[in-house]
Structure 1
Amino acid sequence: MPHLVLLYTPDLETDADIPSLCRALADTMLEQRDQAGKAVFPTGGTRVLAYPAAHCAVADGKGPYGFLYANLRMGSGRSEQVHKAVGDSLLQVLKRHLDALLQQRPIGITVQIDESQAQVYDAKHSSLHPLFNRPA
């Protein structure tokens, strides 16, 4: 963890470069630092996944409306300052990446951060973390 999941209207698939958006969001997550200057997210655990909605209805359906929902799920223990800084940074990347489309037509963007408080099961198996946890 952290996992950032993007769910968006299918029209954005052709109008926005979603793969580069995913990379920009992941890079932004990896750049985040807490008040002590420590990385907020582990490199090997950072994931951005994007899915166009198979079906959707936006607003009254009378316009070329688009929508992108970004949900970041992270483990507990980070400060409210970190939550706000991360959310603001992700929103800025989304706005910058979608700016041309936002100028052309109505598009809604939502960023939501959920912190895992009461997990009842959390299992992990990864060969990614060892790649980034080696001494330099």
Structure 2
Amino acid sequence: MPHLVLLYTADLEAEVPMGTLCRELADTMLEQRDEAGKAVFPKGGTRVLAYPAAHSAVADGQGDYGFLYANLRMGSGRSQAVHQAVGAALSAVLARHTEAVRARRPVGVTLQIDESPGQVFDAKHSSLHPLFNKNS
């Protein structure tokens, strides 16, 4: 954790460079600092995944509508100020990368951040975290 998942109408694939968007979103997440200056997200746990919808229906279906939904899921314990700062930073990246397509046609972009307060099970099998922890 954290995981930022993008779901989008497949037509956006031709107009938004999704690989570049994912990298910039991940880099933005890694730049975030809390009130004490500590990194908000661990390098080894930061993931951005993007999925085009094989099938979709947007609004009334009468126009050339597109949609991108971004959901950041993170563990609990961060302040409201951190939530707001992370949201603003990620939202700015999403807005910048979709600005041109939104100017040409109706496209909705939504970012939601969820915090995981009560996990009942969390298993990890990772060789990523040790890679970055040894360099800390």
Query: Deviation per CA, 1:93-135, whole angstroms, max 9, x where unpaired?
Result: 0000111111111110110011001111100010001111114
Which residue of 2 is the match for residue 90 of structure 1?
90
Q: Say if 2:126 is the partner of 1:126.
A: yes
Q: Say if 2:65 is the partner of 1:75.
A: no
Structure-2 separation of matches of 1:135 and 1:6: 30
Q: Once the two structures are aligned, what percentage of the paired residues are identical?
A: 73
Query: What is the one-letter code of the residue matched to 1:12?
Result: L
CA RMSD of aligned residues (A): 0.8
Which residue of 1 is the match for residue 43 of structure 2?
43
TM-score by length of 2: 0.97
Structure-1 separation of matches of 2:111 and 2:84: 11
Structure-2 separation of matches of 1:46 and 1:62: 38
Structure-2 separation of matches of 1:50 and 1:97: 14
Query: Deviation per CA, 1:38-88, whole angstroms, max 9, x where unpaired?
Result: 000000000000000111110111111110000000000000100111011
What SS class does the counterpart of residue 25 from structure 1 fall into?
helix
Moved over 3 A (4+): none
Query: What is the one-letter code of the residue matched to 2:68?
Result: L
TM-score by length of 1: 0.97
Structure-2 separation of matches of 1:70 and 1:56: 16
